[in-house]
Chains A and B, each alone.
Chain A
């Protein structure tokens, strides 16, 4: 070792002349190459190597960072095409060029992120093969056919993305545009499969099934179709849209803050609005998908469910509540800022409803964050009569949390509806009836959710989980599915009383968009840790035990430091990618729809709520 150390010093001396940075990079590369030299290999002395490690840093820590960055990038890359494509369709159908430009801008961010995602995927694969040969060998044995399928999907996705992006300008008219839209559909189709195939590998680790004898394909298919596969697929699909939306919103927020002229301010204010809208649009059904996933986990294995919700990870859900609460508040705050700044004269009109919604959200957040049991000294516990607080303890149970989560979704939904309707006067003859129906639906739904929540205290958990909580979810979904089309119909013939003015948002709006994006990224890192830790000391739950020195889940504080680090690294990475991608834009005119003023796409709620930016009016 001394000899090696001497060589190292000599190397460093040699490299110093070529610049310190080079030596740092080479050192880092050498450090990463250590596993290939078999250093710190674990396993039976005579048997095959089961684990490799990098002393000092730890193989798990490296995999944690790389896997998290890869997953976040993948989430963004798979989420963006969904709404880029939808924006393109809206632009195509409505004839509004600004939506087409926006879709193109989203896709530009996508193309530049795609290669980086693949790069991190490649690094992750090498690290996994290097650090966990036993596990990877086991998974390869089961999933080899899906590995092949995955590679084919990547080829198809890459080819489609090239055509979609590079053919954008060339395929603008007539049948070519239709073909371009079809390419967008294919892009999303392949992207969906690219997401669900690796999901099967990860979910198999958490909820393995019996793999009977049979062909390789049959075995791979049996393992793929495991109990948590579809819940995770749906949850991730929605979460990717949320992530993509909020990141695009944050991008617009930063560009808005740094805007140098009115045109830029208008454009990025509008883009921030669209990004936030997409984020909220996905955020509303996301808790339902999460609930379904948890339900499946409980049904699959009670112990895993208890480890998550009642075991050592129970405090994690208090952090989750905090992050989701801030996200809801941030999203609503941005809506409210929009109402008061983009719609002149509406400050006083909406002051009371906004204050009411704020109070409801804060109260709900308080209940959601109430822990089930408190950390108390013996004396404190004796005074309280247990580890539950005599008054607040009642809010620490799932019945209360499910109720407030549903109420927060309802409030956020109403916040959006309020924003959508602001500055417009309904002219339909049935408008009054429709408003009454919507009001009644909302009030009755709110009451029903609360009643079910309170009732939930007096019934066995199984009834609450199977019937009451599900009913609460269905009620909220019913509200959304009733009020959204009704509002769209109502506004179709509405008269605009106050034009929405873009580019007038205060700087804190930009920061709210950034905050929302950071919250979503943190949430993904937090729940990634939860998903991984729920397997406790198993690589494949109940089947293959983790016998490495890292067969433990670190405490929340340590894990949170990693989550924060990963979030920061991801933000910097995305900022760098976006900076590179938009480098050539400087100096170009921001001609998003300039001179091509069009009407708002009626009946398309996603893009509702705004007159075209000022640039369009010139």
Chain B
């Protein structure tokens, strides 16, 4: 039986038990317990009626360079990262969206060079942090771009290159990132991210 159904049955039983106590028992304290049981049971039932989403940790997928033969392979990996570990879709949309807090990334691969995208991901406050897509003064976006290469997201260079490949492919551009640029673990290890360099920590320091 599904976990939600099981919990719903438990909730209903608790509510039923509470009603029975209120109907048939005269002792005041027991009646109060029955009343509390009804309230708690109803609360659980309401909570079970909303969308049930668990927050799973991002899968630590092994970036197996041996399996990446073409730029399209990189773009496929980049697409996965875009919607999972990278958490890009939390703020950005691909195509117009009312709920997106930050720029629509449709066609971004054809508008910006790969170097600029890389810099935007790793030095997000260097140039782009205001919204110019309207008349008058530029505005701040509701959400600020985090440092993608630092914690808590912490994408590696290989992962960032793959995301760039995905953005270019999605924009109909030829993918300018090549699998030969990928760093082989052990040969050119990227510097581990120190606790003190991590995103939120750095933000706190700036405060």
Chain A residues, Cβ within 8 Å of B7? 557-558, 561
CB pair A306–B53 under 8 Å, yes or no, is: no
Stretch at the interface among B28-36, B75-83, B163-171, B173-181: B28-36
* Most A Cβ at <10 Å: residue of B31, B47, B57, B90: B47
Chain B residues, Cβ within 8 Å of A558? 3, 7, 52, 54
Chain A residues, Cβ within 8 Å of B87? 303
Chain B residues, Cβ within 8 Å of A567? 40
CB pair B35–A511 under 8 Å, yes or no, is: yes
Whole-angstrom distance from the CB of B99 to the nearest CB of chain A?
A: 7
With A210-B201, A319-B50 known to touch, is A538 a contact of B152 (CB < 8 Å)?
Answer: yes
CB pair A515–B39 under 8 Å, yes or no, is: yes
Query: Does A315 belong to the interface (CB within 8 Å)?
Result: yes
Whole-angstrom distance from the CB of B205 to the nearest CB of chain A?
A: 5
Query: Does B10 belong to the interface (CB within 8 Å)?
Result: yes
Chain B residues, Cβ within 8 Å of A511? 32, 35
Whole-angstrom distance from the CB of B47 to the nearest CB of chain A?
A: 3
Interface residues of B in 6-43 (CB under 8 A from A): 7, 10-11, 14, 28-29, 31-32, 35-37, 39-41, 43
Whole-angstrom distance from the CB of B3 to the nearest CB of chain A?
A: 7
CB pair A319–B46 under 8 Å, yes or no, is: yes
The chain B residue sitting closest to A543, CB to CB, is: B195
Interface residues of A in 213-260 (CB under 8 A from B): 226-227, 254, 257-258
Chain A residues, Cβ within 8 Å of B58? 537
Chain B residues, Cβ within 8 Å of A518? 36, 39-40
CB pair B28–A254 under 8 Å, yes or no, is: yes
Chain B residues, Cβ within 8 Å of A304? 200
CB pair A207–B204 under 8 Å, yes or no, is: yes
Chain A residues, Cβ within 8 Å of B31? 257
Query: Does A38 belong to the interface (CB within 8 Å)?
Result: no
Docked CA distance A211–B91 (Å): 30
Number of A-B residue pairs having CB atoms within 8 Å of each other in the complex: 171
CB pair A552–B56 under 8 Å, yes or no, is: yes
Partner of A571, one of B36, B90, B195: B36
Query: Does A17 belong to the interface (CB within 8 Å)?
Result: no
Docked CA distance A301–B146 (Å): 8
Query: Does A48 belong to the interface (CB within 8 Å)?
Result: no
With A511-B35, A561-B44 known to touch, is A542 a contact of B200 (CB < 8 Å)?
Answer: yes
Query: Does A514 belong to the interface (CB within 8 Å)?
Result: yes
Query: Does A560 belong to the interface (CB within 8 Å)?
Result: yes
The chain A residue sitting closest to B199, CB to CB, is: A542
CB pair A386–B144 under 8 Å, yes or no, is: no
* Most B Cβ at <10 Å: residue of A310, A518, A542, A554: A542
Query: Does B48 belong to the interface (CB within 8 Å)?
Result: yes
Partner of A564, one of B44, B90, B98: B44
The chain A residue sitting closest to B197, CB to CB, is: A210
How many residues on A have C-beta within 8 angstroms of the other chain's C-beta atoms?
Answer: 67
Interface residues of B in 74-109 (CB under 8 A from A): 87, 90-91, 98-99, 101
Partner of A208, one of B51, B90, B200: B200
Docked CA distance A387–B4 (Å): 24
Query: Does B55 belong to the interface (CB within 8 Å)?
Result: yes
Mask: chain B, 172-194; 1 = CB below 8 Å from A; 0 = not? 00000000000000000000000
The chain A residue sitting closest to B4, CB to CB, is: A557
CB pair B55–A300 under 8 Å, yes or no, is: no
CB pair A556–B204 under 8 Å, yes or no, is: no
Chain A residues, Cβ within 8 Å of B37? 568
With A208-B200, A258-B29, A514-B35 known to touch, is A306 a contact of B90 (CB < 8 Å)?
Answer: yes
Chain A residues, Cβ within 8 Å of B3? 557-558
Chain A residues, Cβ within 8 Å of B152? 301, 303, 536, 538, 541-542
CB pair B28–A318 under 8 Å, yes or no, is: no
Whole-angstrom distance from the CB of B134 to the nearest CB of chain A?
A: 10
Chain A residues, Cβ within 8 Å of B28? 254, 257-258
CB pair A306–B143 under 8 Å, yes or no, is: yes
Interface residues of A in 450-482 (CB under 8 A from B): 460-462
Docked CA distance A462–B195 (Å): 29
Docked CA distance A559–B46 (Å): 12
Chain B residues, Cβ within 8 Å of A323? 43
CB pair A514–B204 under 8 Å, yes or no, is: no
Query: Does A375 belong to the interface (CB within 8 Å)?
Result: yes
Chain A residues, Cβ within 8 Å of B153? 303
Chain B residues, Cβ within 8 Å of A227? 204, 207
Interface residues of A in 422-448 (CB under 8 A from B): none
Mask: chain A, 305-324; 1 = CB below 8 Å from B; 0 = not? 01100111101001100110
Mask: chain A, 178-221; 1 = CB below 8 Å from B; 0 = not? 00000000000000000000000000000111110000000000
CB pair A375–B51 under 8 Å, yes or no, is: yes
CB pair B98–A388 under 8 Å, yes or no, is: yes
Whole-angstrom distance from the CB of A376 to the nearest CB of chain B?
A: 11
Partner of B204, one of A226, A319, A554, A563: A226
Partner of B101, one of A306, A514, A537, A560: A306
CB pair A254–B142 under 8 Å, yes or no, is: no
CB pair A318–B50 under 8 Å, yes or no, is: yes
Whole-angstrom distance from the CB of B150 to the nearest CB of chain A?
A: 8
Partner of A210, one of B32, B151, B196: B196
CB pair B200–A386 under 8 Å, yes or no, is: no
CB pair A461–B142 under 8 Å, yes or no, is: yes
Query: Does A498 belong to the interface (CB within 8 Å)?
Result: no
The chain A residue sitting closest to B91, CB to CB, is: A306
The chain B residue sitting closest to A465, CB to CB, is: B142
Whole-angstrom distance from the CB of A502 to the nearest CB of chain B?
A: 19
Docked CA distance A209–B40 (Å): 38
Query: Does B198 belong to the interface (CB within 8 Å)?
Result: yes
CB pair B52–A556 under 8 Å, yes or no, is: yes
CB pair B51–A460 under 8 Å, yes or no, is: no
Partner of A254, one of B11, B29, B48, B99: B29
Query: What are 23 pairs between A and B in contact, CB < 8 Å?
Result: A207-B204, A210-B196, A254-B32, A257-B28, A257-B32, A299-B207, A301-B146, A303-B87, A303-B90, A303-B153, A306-B101, A312-B53, A319-B47, A322-B46, A386-B98, A514-B36, A518-B36, A518-B40, A543-B198, A555-B53, A556-B53, A557-B52, A564-B40
| Closest 8 pairs between A and B when the two form their complex, measured CB to CB | A560-B47, A537-B57, A557-B48, A542-B151, A555-B52, A461-B142, A553-B55, A564-B40
Beyond A254-B32, A388-B99, A556-B52, 6 extra complex contacts between A and B, CB < 8 Å: A209-B204, A315-B50, A522-B43, A538-B152, A558-B7, A561-B11
B residues near A (Cβ < 8 Å) are 3-4, 7, 10-11, 14, 28-29, 31-32, 35-37, 39-41, 43-44, 46-48, 50-58, 87, 90-91, 98-99, 101, 139-140, 142-144, 146, 150-153, 195-196, 198-205, 207
